Structure 1
Amino acid sequence: MTERPSSDAEHKQRRRPRRSADQNRAEILRAATTEFAMHGFAGGRITRIVKKAGTNPRMIYELFGSKSNLYVATLENALSALRTEELTLEVMHLDPLEGLLKLFDFMNGHFERNGHLVSLLRTENLMKARFMKKSARIHEMSSPVLSMTERLLKRGVAEGKLTADVDPLRLYVMIAALSQFHLANVHTLSAMFERNLAEAKWRAARREDARKMLAAYLQRK
């Protein structure tokens, strides 16, 4: 009896190396990040995530349990990358003002390199942090960064270099706003003012403006 020729799909399936649970999880999170950043939670589709990750629906539900759990894990993963890099910054030995400006430089660069994070945060804000509130991990990740900001401020005040009435949380929110507002609104602002705000030269000039504003705000008069 003549053997039936195998299809290309079957051939690829046989040759695809078996992945570990960690590898599957990483591929699914990578695909989910792209999907949810582009389409949001409501518009995100498990079928597209499955295709991009090269997996199957059973594996997604086995590892994450549900679409909402996968979305929360995607948020945690994206923010974890930001927090992990923030906590490796060597700023505590610097002059307090330079340390805080270095934190801004890092955050500004991170958001510019990771547009998916800007999109995910924008989507989650539209839903009033509905899913972020379910994650204890996200809250825990934020605490060390705020503590680092507070220590730099306290040292700067003690050394007579920084103004004494700066709240650490308000400062961190200000740094975050100066790092991503122009990215979250790049298309509308570019259309309104007929200027390409994605242009590298414009962004570099805006970054220097933001640094000067922060320095002027922080320095003791």
Structure 2
Amino acid sequence: MSDPSSAALAAKPTSKADAPKRTRNSAKTKASILAAARVEFADRGFEGARVDAIAERAGANKRLLYHYFGNKEDLYRAVLLDAYQEIRRGELALSLDQYDPAQAMDRLVRFTFRHFLANPWFPRLLGTENIENARFLKTLPNIEALHSPLVGQIAAIIERGNRAGIFRRDVDPVQLYISVAALGFFYVSNTATLSVIFKRDLASVAMVHEREAHAVQMVLDYLKTKPVG
């Protein structure tokens, strides 16, 4: 005859065993919802995006979506913040301080270009936020702190290049980054129309490589040009 108390203990789940599983499932569900929301917001904009469609795409319960992210506006904010955090993590992983100034800038330009190229949803999402006049971005906590390390990183590269006698000193790191981002952003955002206008397949591997090299050369040539006056 079996011991009833032993059977009861065997049947009763332990909190220690369950907690990691719940944590893993929670993280996976959140990641799936964020990924689905990226696509929906990028494709349809904030106003056109539907929470039902996001939940269906993520294979998640709609109630869980609201539980994890709140309402549609909060979910959009989470997507926007995650997008910026992702590119900042990639820039940090470049370890640019380990390279000489020219190599460091080369790597930053190539990374930025390739990030836009590999994530076409990102330019579309930024386009949506600009249509919204950055009203959601303005509400994100510490958004300036998220970008300040990048500005400091670029400033350090410029300073090192100037000390080495290869870069000009009168360079605003913010203006420089805007130019670096624009060289990739505009190309990716307008590949379809530019391909028709100029009768070139700008999405082809050869043209993409040519554009990337062109972007790097433009930035380095500017940094190496002596200021007028």
Name the SS of the counterpart of 2:97 in structure 1. coil
- Residues 162 and 218, structure 1, Cα contact 8 Å, conserved in 2: yes
Shift of 1:137: 4.1
Other structure's SS at 1:92 match? helix
Match for residue 55 of structure 1?
60
| Amino acid corresponding to residue 118 of structure 1 in structure 2 | P
* Runs of 5+ consecutive residues of structure 1 not aligned to the other structure: 1-16
**Structure 2 residue identity aligned to 1:149:** I
CA distance in 1, matches of 2:48, 2:174: 33
Given candidates 50, 53, 78, the residue that maps to 2:83 is 78
Cα RMSD of the aligned pairs, angstroms, is 1.6
Match of 2:42 among 31, 37, 40: 37
Which letter maps to 1:62? H
The equivalent residue for 1:162 is 167
TM-score with structure 1 setting the length: 0.87
Structure 1 residue 89: deviation in Å? 0.8
Q: Which moved more, 1:124-133 or 1:134-143?
A: 134-143
SS in 2 for 1:163: coil
- Partners of 1:160 and 1:220 within 8 A in 2: no
Tell me which residue corresponds to 2:29. Answer: 24
Deviations, residues 34-75 of structure 1 (Å, cap 9, x unaligned): 111111111111111111111122111111111011001001
Contact 1:97–1:218 (Cα < 8 Å) also in 2: no
Hey, what does 1:173 align to over in structure 2? Answer: 178
**Equivalent position SS for 1:165:** coil
Distance in 2 between the 1:194 and 1:22 partners? 46
Distance 2:98 2:92 in 1: 14
State the partner residue of 2:153: 148
Contact 1:97 1:219 in 2 (8 A): no
CA distance in 1, matches of 2:193, 2:47: 23
- Worse overlay, 185-194 or 24-33: 185-194
Tell me which amino acid in the other structure corresponds to 1:95. Answer: D
CA distance in 2, matches of 1:39, 1:139: 27
| Distance of 1:27 and 1:154 partners within structure 2 | 42
Amino acid across the alignment from 1:56? N
Partner of 2:95: 90
Match of 1:212 in 2: 217
- The 2-side partners of 1:106 and 1:75 are apart by 20
Shift of 1:128: 1.3
Give the corresponding residue for 2:6.
Answer: none
- Equivalent AA in structure 2 for residue 115 of structure 1: P
Q: Deviations over 1:3-39 (max 9, x none)?
A: xxxxxxxxxxxxxx97632222111101101111111
Q: Is the 8 A contact 1:24 1:55 kept in 2?
A: yes
SS of 1:83's partner is helix
Unaligned runs of 5+ in 2: 1-20
- Determine the C-alpha separation between the residues in 2 that align with 1:137 and 1:73: 13
Letter in 1 for 2:137: M
What is the aligned-residue identity percentage?
38
Residue of structure 1 aligned with 2:120, choices 104, 115, 123: 115
For 2:27 and 2:98, locate their aligned partners in 1 and report how far apart those are by CA, in whole Å: 37
1:192 is matched with which residue: 191, 197, 207?
A: 197
